[in-house]
Amino acid sequence: MVGMMVDEERPDFSTQLHEIFPKYQRGDARANITIADLLSHRTGIAPYDGLWLSSDNQIVMERSQAIPTFNYAPVVSPLRAKFGYNHIAYEIVGQVLEKTSGSTYLDLLRERIINPLRLNRTFYADQPFDDNTAKAYAALSNGSTYELPPWGYGKDILIGSRGALRSSISGMMVLYKAVMDAANSGVEVGGSGAHNPFKLMPQLFEGKIGLLNQSWREYIYALGMRAQLPNIVDLFLDYSPPELGRGSPWRLSSWYITKAT
């Protein structure tokens, strides 16, 4: 949705966070972080996941605490020098969208994505679950299972715009097809994508910060991951993945990690 707002000139990828939220104040280089910095995880600010996420998937901070946390969180790397995934950064982007549009994040989702794409099985945060919803379980050491409480469920929770959206496999297929159609339209001569809600996809897919990789081929974070295949795409994975595209001609892939729960 950031691309949609930027397309309407509210705000820009280069807009600094303090221009939208004057209460964001730091005494170092991160005082001038931009929307693009937040989206590409290159602020250098510590993620502080242990501060907001408790056991049983309980989120213990409210959204109002996101920017104050960014004000005092320590630095772990220089600005725009190293990739460092930060969930709170995406929460702040959600608040930027609300501030610049005058709408709630849920209303923006409905107006801009859910309704245009007819994602009838897509829900956000505190919208109620129904009987046709998958459940998550953890396997315990004694071989029994433990049902995990749902992630990202509740009212006014921190990280809502980062990971509180629930959908079906078919809904995700519709969403990602629209994203790729918009991206292809954006690079084709004469392509307009007039009936597609997603905008400025070439800018969103533009590489922003390099990622550590076992290959010398391109492996970079745009506003989402992209890699030049063949390659080993192993960011955030807890197993050793195979090399994707082995033996095939070089081609650029764009990908993102989702979790089924």
φ, ψ dihedrals at 231, nearest 5°: -165, 160
Who wins on pLDDT, 27 or 239?
27
Stretch 75-86: mean pLDDT, rounded? Answer: 93
pLDDT for 147-163, tens place per residue? Answer: 988 877 877 888 888 88
pLDDT tier at 29, thresholds 50, 70, 90: very high
- Give the per-residue pLDDT at 261: 34
Q: Are 42 and 89 in contact (CB under 8 A)?
A: no
CA distance 167 to 156: 20
- Give the per-residue pLDDT at 78: 95
CA distance 149 to 129: 12
pLDDT for 109-158, tens place per residue? Answer: 999 999 999 999 998 887 888 888 888 898 999 999 999 888 778 778 88
Residue 38 clears pLDDT 70, i.e. is over it: yes
Q: How many CA atoms lie within 13 A of 39 on its CB side?
A: 26
